Amino acid sequence: MGPEYISLTFWLLVWDWVEAAGTFVVAVAIYGEYLKEYKKYPKDEHLREKFGKWCVWVLIGGVCIELLGHSMGSHVSGKMTDISNQKLSNAIDDSATAMLAAGKANKEAGQANERAANTESNNLVLQSNVLALELEIQPRTISFENGNKLIEELWAIPKTQFWDEEIKIIADSRAFDAVRFSRNLRMFFSNGGFWCEMSSFELPDSEFDEFPAGVTLVDKRGTNQMAHPNPEQDKLIVKAFKDVGININQAQQTLITDQWNRSNMTQSNLVKYPCVYILVGPKKFDMGF
């Protein structure tokens, strides 16, 4: 990629950090609301009312910062996609020119029907590869309208125990746009009343195919005697995403305890915590996510 693409990559990182800063501000405001409502802090009622109003303004400001970072990040991402599309268009033009030259050569040489059939088969493979590439370079996004709907449904999900508020998102850093899409999911979960963390990693080459494609939910709350599985909450999370066009797979907790222990991931406590894990892997072309 050229200098322009490198510059856009830098700005994409900047706006991602802006979005992350907004998420932090929202978390601080929510914690302030928690102190006011449940801890009755400050003790003085008049000061507590002022403190509550301050938390509301901080929350509004944090959401605005998040939306700004998300909007500008999407704008930069769109420019990067346009550059990739232009390069793809040039590659298609070159392929078309080569195909015309091959067709003329075949006509002049008077090739047999068998060779013509082989050429047609190759053309179909090329068209299939081009279509697959076009699907691959389209990043996964959630529209503003669907985003608001998703936040409302996530916020309405009951959270009866402490572990019900914890979400950990793990992105496969080698999968196209998985890390960026995971940041978007973290924003929606955080605004929906969950305490959300995100990590990314690379599996060894021998285990890369074991990372599930698309978006997968794994409930590990049953691995701790203090935390209890909540299948009803899992179903509501899956339904909230399905309502905005995102199909989330559900998998057993052994998916990450049995298969990934060999990667020494558990030594960093990445998958030890008893909570709900959201795994973001390569895009599933048949579902769009």
Q: 3-state SS of the chain: helix, strand, coil percent to 5?
A: 65, 10, 25
Give the percent of the chain with pLDDT over 90.
9
Q: Which residue has the higher pLDDT, 184 or 11?
A: 184
CA distances from 9 to 4, 68, 163, 176 (A): 9, 17, 36, 14
Q: Which residue has the higher pLDDT, 6 or 53?
A: 53
Lowest mean pLDDT among 92-101, 153-162, 203-212: 203-212
- Residue 137, pLDDT > 70, answer no
The mean of the pLDDT values for the chain is 76
Residue 214 vs residue 125, higher pLDDT: 214
Confidence bin at 268 (pLDDT 50/70/90):
very low
Instruction: Specify the pLDDT at position 173.
Output: 78
pLDDT tens per residue, range 84-100: 777 777 777 777 777 77
Helix (H) / strand (E) element for 278: namely strand 276-280
Query: Are 70 and 184 contacting, i.e. CB atoms less than 8 angstroms apart?
Result: yes
Indicate the domain borders of the chain: 1-138, 144-280
